[in-house]
């Protein structure tokens, strides 16, 4: 099966789009962590120890 140039371009565009979305999600996560204070959300995960 031949991968066409158009197919490669579409894949690259999708990949870039996904990276941008992931970047936004990570930034939002970090902002939310700051709101929780020093430990962020992860303090809840540590609480069982």
pLDDT digits (tens, 9 = 90+) for 11-45: 999 999 999 998 888 787 777 666 555 554 555 55
pTM, 2 dp: 0.51
* More reliable by pLDDT, 33 or 2: 2
Give the single-character DSSP code of 21.
Answer: H
* More reliable by pLDDT, 34 or 2: 2
Residue located via tokens 């930034």? 27
Among residues 46, 24, 43, 47, which one has the least CA distance to residue 35?
Answer: 43
């Amino acid at each position: 099966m031949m991968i066409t140039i158009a197919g490669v371009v579409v894949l690259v565009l999708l990949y870039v789009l996904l990276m941008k979305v992931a970047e936004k999600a990570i930034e939002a996560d970090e902002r939310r962590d700051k709101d929780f204070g020093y430990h962020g959300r992860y303090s809840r995960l540590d609480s069982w120890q």
